[in-house]
Amino acid sequence: PENVGILALEPYFPSTYLEQSELEAHNGVSAGKYTIGLGQAQMSLCTDNEDPTSMGLTVLTSLLKKYDIKGSEIGRLEIGTETLTDKSKSLKTSLLRALGNPNVEGATNLNACYGGTAAFLNCVNYCANPCNKGKKAICVIVDIAAYARGAARPTSGSGAVAVLVGEDSWLKFGGVKASWTEDVWDFYKADHEVEYPQVDGKVSQECYFRSLRGCYEGFRKEYEARTSKLFAYSSPAYWVFHAPYNKLVRKSFSRLQYYDDPAAPWCAGLDIEGRDYDKLAQKRVEKDFNKKMGKGLEVSRRIGNTYAASVFMGLCGVVEGEDLKADKELAVFSYGSGSIATMYNLVVRETDGDRFTLVKCRERMKLKERLETRVKVGAEELDLALDCREIMHSNPKGYSPLYPTASLWEGTYFLQGIDDKFRRSYSVK
């Protein structure tokens, strides 16, 4: 199998959103804390009528329909999520009804925001294996990021991406990768009574930075060994980072120049963990940051953290919003608390066939159009919606969603109810 990689991308996020500036006022924090301090503009609002299964069905059905993909073409369906509605039954089994093909490998991958990358790498390996020649794979990556009231709640969000993987792709897996793993307790969901994580925000930032450095240094070494070309932060045409909130990505990107050359005169005497370093480093690479993040980061600024789906949502933004010429390289950094992180590269190429092309993908995603046609709700809705989800989560038996489905887009699956045996049923709008 040759040129295995991405054949199509389909994003989904809820049709309602709120403004972070209004959330600042609602929460009584100083103006600018979320919009400048965290760098977030808006947030997707997920009520109690959507869950990971409904979002997964929505995005998978949409992908299959847009590209006229038959279930029989798919040999593997992998899921990446940390939003579990069941401790045993994998989300993959609930999405099979959209595929209509029982002869399909794969299951759900779980590790905080990393599950999507694990799912994607599994799909790439599946398609690269000669035993599976001719079959394609799909990964569906979906998460609802919901935090308890407090400092983390403005970094909530939700969304899903379905990725079709196969041969003769227009965005092939470049083959250079490096991982960094640690046994840490920065973010985890040990309390099964609530949907929210246990999170130490500061520790999670430190873990993210350490993983970035570990991955980056490993990736650079691997890249140089394989290609005999030098690699620096400015080498890829675009970067896609896991984006819990914009400011963290901005800070992280500015650290890459330091990892390239920690002895450079401009940073002599500066503590990389300090404010002076941050200010100077961000200023030095501001132009590169805007250029190399492209339109990718804009998506998460407007929908919030989508956990496992975050890097794929960023990728959708780059594909739709940037001019991706053949041979351009993208570097992706995926981080999942706990922690597992991987950095890998993707390369743009012209395809031989015309069924799955970059142009078709760009035209069919309708990412910007959908962002623009969302319905704005008041900031108070965030607490109300999460209160409903709390009730559903703590007592799911016999639950019927309280939120109306009027604002959902046509074709969106929604949770009809949960019966007295905890089984969930869905309808489509």
Interface residues with ligand ACO (CB under 6 A)?
30-33, 36-38, 113, 151-152, 155, 187, 199, 201, 204-205, 208, 244-245, 247-248, 305, 337
Task: Read off φ and ψ for residue 225, nearest 5 degrees.
Answer: -65, -40
> Of 112 and 124, which CB lies nearer to ligand ACO in the complex structure?
112
The number of beta carbons lying within 10 Å of the beta carbon of residue 92 is: 22
Q: Min. distance of Cβ 184 from ligand ACO in angstroms?
A: 11
The closest of 173, 197, 139 to 336, measured between CA atoms, is: 197
> Of 339 and 412, which CB lies nearer to ligand ACO in the complex structure?
339
Q: How far is Cα 279 from Cα 328, in angstroms, rounded to an integer? A: 30
Whether 231 contacts 26, CB under 8 Å: no
Instruction: Clarify whether 82 is annotated catalytic.
Output: yes
Cα-to-chain-centroid distance, residue 341: 13
> Of 1 and 201, which CB lies nearer to ligand ACO in the complex structure?
201
Q: How far is Cα 400 from Cα 75, in angstroms, rounded to an integer? A: 35
Whether 168 contacts 333, CB under 8 Å: no
Q: Min. distance of Cβ 141 from ligand ACO in angstroms?
A: 14
Place of tokens 């059905």: 61
Q: Min. distance of Cβ 152 from ligand ACO in angstroms?
A: 4
Instruction: Clarify whether 361 is annotated catalytic.
Output: no
Q: Min. distance of Cβ 332 from ligand ACO in angstroms?
A: 15
Q: Min. distance of Cβ 117 from ligand ACO in angstroms?
A: 13
* The one catalytic residue among 73, 82, 222, 298: 82
* The one catalytic residue among 46, 113, 139, 316: 113
Read off the DSSP letter of residue 28.
T
For residue 321, give the H/E element and its range.
helix 310-321
Whether 9 contacts 321, CB under 8 Å: no
Instruction: Clarify whether 192 is annotated catalytic.
Output: no
For residue 8, give the H/E element and its range.
strand 5-12
* The one catalytic residue among 73, 167, 207, 242: 242
Whether 174 contacts 346, CB under 8 Å: yes
> Of 151 and 384, which CB lies nearer to ligand ACO in the complex structure?
151
Amino acid identity, position 19: E
> Of 202 and 421, which CB lies nearer to ligand ACO in the complex structure?
202
* Residues involved in catalysis: 82, 113, 242
